[in-house]
């Protein structure tokens, strides 16, 4: 499925506009959803009674709100976003990142694998993120050992950690018929978050089942 399976959003973004592709919610309403209420994006629209409030899990494509959860995480940013991603063809994510990258109060850094970032669709999306504001950067290359850069993670304000091996694309969210877990832990410290998920990614062990993505909150 091509990336234009997503509706292209207007720029600059209207955060008060109800959006059909967000089930009638505006971006501001999505941003205001409490962490504890993210279960609305599960297939069952809630987590089971007694489910951990520190580690929430979403499965794509069974949980059709995986995309919304990712947008929610980016909407929490107030000062910085740092991303390492492999497959990256989600224009709605790019629209939010472009909004942040054009703010003089935000720092946005993006690292992508050269085998993926060189595609026609990827090039067009990345061009939207280029600007001359200090602190923003886009790096395209390989891992330090010359392998593909297959890690998928995002750190927001040093407060939220998003990890996982689901690519950011329409196909990954909706059409790959394999179980992908998106854990969203709410940790009391970044070190706890790292212990929860990142070491596996740092060692390159990403082809394990179930595959994971997570967000950790500090504080």
Angle, CA of 18, 85 and 59, to the nearest 5°: 60
Per-residue pLDDT tens for 101-115? Answer: 888 899 998 888 877
Q: Cα 197 from chain centroid? A: 15
Position 36 scores a pLDDT of 82
Residues of the chain under the 50 pLDDT cut: 1-4, 177-183, 186-191, 193-219
Location of structure tokens 């061009």:
127
Q: Which CATH fold would you assign to the domain 3-217?
A: Endonuclease; Chain A (3.30.870)
130-154 tens-digit pLDDT: 766 677 787 777 766 777 777 788 8
Alpha helices in 32-183 (DSSP H): 66-75, 91-101, 114-117, 120-127, 170-174
Structure token digits, residue 83: 């991303």
Q: 0.85 cut: is pTM over it?
A: no
Sorted by where each begins, the domain ranges of the chain are 3-217
Contacts of 58 (CB under 8 A, 6+ apart): 41, 42, 65, 66, 69, 181, 182, 183, 184, 213
Which of helix, strand or coil describes residue 37? Answer: helix
């Amino acid at each position: 499925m091509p990336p234009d399976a997503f509706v292209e959003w207007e720029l600059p973004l209207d955060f008060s506009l109800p959006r059909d592709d967000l089930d009638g919610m505006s971006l501001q309403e999505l941003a205001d959803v409490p962490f504890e209420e993210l279960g609305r994006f599960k297939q069952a629209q809630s987590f089971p009674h007694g489910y951990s409030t520190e580690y929430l899990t979403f499965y794509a494509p069974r949980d059709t709100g995986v995309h919304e959860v990712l947008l929610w995480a980016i909407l929490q940013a107030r000062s910085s976003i740092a991303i390492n991603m492999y497959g990256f063809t989600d224009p709605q994510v790019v629209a939010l990142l472009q909004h942040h990258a054009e703010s003089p109060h935000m720092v946005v850094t993006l690292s992508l694998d050269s085998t993926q970032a060189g595609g026609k669709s990827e090039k067009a999306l990345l061009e939207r993120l280029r600007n001359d504001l200090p602190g923003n950067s886009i790096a395209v290359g390989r891992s330090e050992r010359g392998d593909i850069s297959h890690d998928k993670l995002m750190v927001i304000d040093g407060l939220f950690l998003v990890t996982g091996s689901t690519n950011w694309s329409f196909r990954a969210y909706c059409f790959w018929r394999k179980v992908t877990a998106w854990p969203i832990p709410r940790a009391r410290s970044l070190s706890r978050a790292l212990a929860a998920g990142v070491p596996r990614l740092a060692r390159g062990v990403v082809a394990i089942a179930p595959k994971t993505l997570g967000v950790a909150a500090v504080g």
